[in-house]
Amino acid sequence: MSSPRFHQTPALPPITRGRDKQFLGSLQAHIDHAKEQLQVAGQCDVEQQCIIYGRAFDKVIDYCTDYKGLLAAIKREYDEFIDVLKQSQRDAVHLQGKLRALASQPTTLMYHRKRATELAKKLELIQRDSQRVENQLEKLQHDQKLKTPELEETKSLQNNIKPSSLIPGMTVEDSVSMEKLTQYQQQLEQKRDNLKADMKNKYVSIQEKIELEHKLSSALQDREEAELLNNKLMVSYRQRKLVMDAILVWTQSNKCVSLYDAISQAIANEKELQDDVFAAEVFHDLDPSKVSEGQDLLEYIERFNELFLSRQYNAAAIHAANSPRGILRNMETMEKFKAAVVSDEETSPVLLYFEALISSSHVAKHPVSAELTLEATKCALACGKLDLVLHWVSQQRITYSEALGDVIYDYGERDPYHKSICLALAQLIYRKCTNSRKAALCMCLQGLVQGALEYTSHCRHFSLEDYGFLLRMCPSAELIHGLTKERNGKPAALSVGQATLSLISTHHKDYGFQLLESILNCGEGALEQAVLNDVVCTPEGWVEIADECLRNNYVQLSEKILSIVRAQDGIVEFTADEEDAKIMEHVFM
């Protein structure tokens, strides 16, 4: 019997209405146009296509009013199914991350055990040395006791001294050296003699102190009584002088009034009497021994205001810089000079103030504060006076701060012609402020890479983060080579993995690839030795480096690193299934 024949039938019935054809055509054009835009933007992934087709489905639902409920139910089912698949995919990625972490635990445990063994050996060695030194010290002390007879007065003190304890201020070697001990004894005797002399010259007994306090209080009381008597005498003097002046005026007049009336009229004149009393007080205050310091300061400030209002800015600046107690060496005075307006041909008043302020800092014994130093530097650089800033820094008349170094560094970035001078100044300031990170960066930017490496090797607090900062800010083959190699018998500052990870995280990643290629070209096994000896960079870090090499077309380098990492014991690599990323593609395609 012949098999039945099956005729192929279309999936959808033919569309006869022109309005439906026009709608489907516009819908297809909309889908194609949205896809082209995603492809141009480089974002044409499965999720974006799903969104496009979902919107197209919504338009179909809105168009087909008869089947709107059915189509909406179908779309909801699809959306729920898609959400379930996405959640499953996220759970799978999370579980893969956990599996990678569990896979790396054997390697980490191996490194920790290795480090614990090394520390245990070092501790055992230190304990042996300490025991040997204590035995030698006890033996020396025992021999010394046999040679020198003990005095009965020092027995109680020696019983309280622990033989194993060190003498304060002396090392173990000095404490067993007779020469050092003799010198130390002489120093203690000198201190004792100085204290005895001070007790006689600088200090007094409590009884003498009480007597002096009584004498001082009685002297102050006598002074107050004398001042009251002086005031009464001055008032009497003024009154008598008033009467004498009235008599003198009366004798020189035509004597139309009697002397009694003239004197009475003068005394009755209250205003004249008050003015005269006030004059007596002024006369009393003008005594050279009674001039107050506050009045002098007020007069000094008034003189400054006169010079400033008369637009004598240079004289006012010098006057303010030499003010007593530094009352005009502050931010308020600076703001006053800054507010002064002059023509373009004249020197800025605030710059005149800063020049006078810094020039007189040693004479006035008032160092310029860090805040004023920063404002002075900004003002000088704004006026193009870099030579003035150089003079201030070289003469050490300003207060160094990190912000000051940042201002000079930024000025060098804006003015390439003076960049070398600015870098040298910023380096000096950063070193004065103990900011070793930025000081080393300035040295590297000047081309002094070897000097920077030597400087960082002597800095106790130069951390791995600081070395990474240098690589990111000023990468160079010389710097990378110096940081990844031993120096003066000390281990390398950065491992190869650390240096590469720091570089590939920036736009200087080519330096990291060049470092790995140079190691690979050193011979068979050189790269493997570098990876295996790197106890700082984890296998996950090397896998990240390999992935970055692959993304930048360093295929051979990526494969070599992955093969080395996979060859280590306990290392397992999990790869994501590429089909999971395309699981939704069949829905609308």
Residue showing tokens 């306090």: 213
Interval 476-503: pLDDT, tens: 777 777 777 776 667 666 767 767 777 7
| Region of poorest pLDDT, from 2-6, 224-228, 251-255, 558-562 | 2-6
pLDDT tens track for 218-266: 887 887 888 888 888 888 888 788 788 878 877 777 666 677 777 777 7
Output the pLDDT for position 539. Answer: 76
How much is the average pLDDT of 14-39? Answer: 79
Q: How confident is the model at residue 127 (pLDDT cuts 50, 70, 90)?
A: very high
Q: Residue 318: how many CB atoms within 10 A of its CB? A: 18
Q: What is the largest CA-CA distance in the chain?
A: 173
Can you give the pLDDT at residue 109? 82
pLDDT at 79 over 60: yes
Identity (one letter) of the amino acid at 511? Y
E strands, 134-196, are none
Are the C-beta atoms of 573 and 540 separated by less than 8 Å? no
pLDDT of residue 574: 42
The lowest-confidence range among 226-235, 424-433, 457-466, 491-500 is 491-500
Give me the mean pLDDT over the 361-378 stretch.
77
Q: Is-contact 368 398, C-beta < 8 A? A: yes
Q: In angstroms, what CA-CA distances link 518 with 511, 514, 522, 541, 554?
A: 10, 6, 6, 19, 13
Q: How far apart, in whole angstroms, are the C-alpha atoms of residue 411 and residue 382?
A: 9
Percent pLDDT > 90 in the chain is 2
For residue 83, give every residue at least 6 positions away whose Cβ sits within 8 Å of its Cβ, in sequence order, or none. none
Q: Is residue 498 classed exposed, middle or buried when 0-12, 13-18 and 19+ CB atoms within 10 A define those classes?
A: buried
**pTM of whole model > 0.75?**
no
* 9 within 8 A of 547, measured Cβ to Cβ: no
Distance, CA of 47 to chain centre: 45
pLDDT of residue 120: 92
Nearest by Cα to 106 from 533, 568, 575, 574 = 568
pLDDT digits (tens, 9 = 90+) for 182-221: 888 888 898 888 888 777 766 667 787 788 778 878 887 8
Nearest residue to 445 (alpha-carbon basis) of 415, 411, 468, 422: 422
pLDDT tens for residues 500-528? 777 777 776 677 777 777 776 776 677 77
DSSP state of 287: -
pLDDT score recorded for residue 583: 35
Q: Give the model's pLDDT for residue 280.
A: 41
**387 CB-near residues (< 8 Å, 6+ apart):** none
Contact 311, 334 (CB under 8 A): no
| Euclidean distance between CA atoms 350 and 332, whole angstroms | 12
Which range in 14-23, 90-99, 506-515 is most confidently predicted, on average pLDDT?
Answer: 90-99
* Mean pLDDT of the residues in the chain: 76
CA distance 34 to 54: 12
Structure confidence at residue 288 as a pLDDT band (50, 70, 90): very low
CA distance 135 to 539: 48
What's phi and psi for 568, nearest 5 deg? -75, 150
- Residue identified by tokens 């003008």 is 286
Give mean pLDDT, residues 281-287. Answer: 43
Reply yes or no on whether the pLDDT at 411 is more than 70.
yes
Of the candidate ranges 53-57, 220-224, 280-284, 421-425, the one whose mean pLDDT is the lowest: 280-284
- 117-132: average pLDDT: 91
pLDDT at position 588, please? 32
Output helix, strand, coil percentages for the chain, rounded to the nearest 5. Answer: 75, 0, 25
Confidence of residue 433 (pLDDT cuts 50, 70, 90): confident
Q: What is the mean pLDDT of residues 308-323?
A: 87
Phi and psi dihedrals of 490, rounded to 5? -95, 150
Instruction: Provide mean pLDDT across the span 120-124.
Output: 91
CA atoms within 13 A on the CB side of 583: 13
Domain ranges in the chain are 18-95, 206-291, 495-589
Q: What DSSP designation does 223 have?
A: H
Grade residue 50 by pLDDT with cuts at 50, 70 and 90.
confident
The mean pLDDT value for 1-8 works out to: 43
